[in-house]
Amino acid sequence: MQHLQHNEPLTFEKVWQMFQETDKKFQETDKKFQETDKKMNHLIGNWGRLLEALVAPGCLQLFKERKIKVNQMFQNARVRRAGEEMEIDVLLVNDTEAVVIETKTNAGADEVNELLHDLASFKEFFPQYRSYTIYGGIASLRFKSEAEHYAAGKGLFVLKVSGEGLVQIIN
């Protein structure tokens, strides 16, 4: 970037050149931000998959202990209908019951509400489970501001990931 000498007159050409140089720097910075955003999204996606991998294996046994004898587990169950899509992080089923589990690194009231919304339309997206009893659960490393109590109050199972991949239902 060209700097003006202390006693040099400020001309339109010099101001225009300084503006162009500054604009170029902004464009370079914006490109770096976009690259960082891509890297962060990739990292967050990988973190989400890691959390699902920690939660899923213990879920069958956890729910069997709660007398919900699920015997099948699906991760990232995804359905597209009428131009809309629903993805379930962990889906546990038997012949009459299904447990829909959403995994989050940090779960708050908004995430609980999103799960409740998904549960309300679950049978529309997964009609093969229309006659099933559907349970919902939210799993997280950390619950924000009483979100676990809010989720439990809404009838959801609350699963906490703690130490070395152990998952517990805390309600």
Provide the pLDDT for residue 15.
79
Max avg pLDDT among 33-37, 105-109, 124-128, 158-162: 124-128
Distance CA 66, CA 101 (A): 15
pTM above 0.75, yes or no: no
Separation CA 130–CA 121 (nearest Å):
11
Predicted confidence at residue 133, as pLDDT, reads 97
pLDDT in tens, 102-137: 999 889 999 999 999 999 999 999 999 999 999 999
Q: For residue 155, which of 140, 131, 142, 138 has the smallest C-alpha distance?
A: 138
Under DSSP, is residue 2 helix (H, G, I), strand (E, B) or coil? coil
Residue in the block written with tokens 């997280």: 140
Q: How confident is the model at residue 46 (pLDDT cuts 50, 70, 90)?
A: low
pLDDT, one tens digit per residue, over 55-81 is 777 888 889 889 999 999 999 999 999
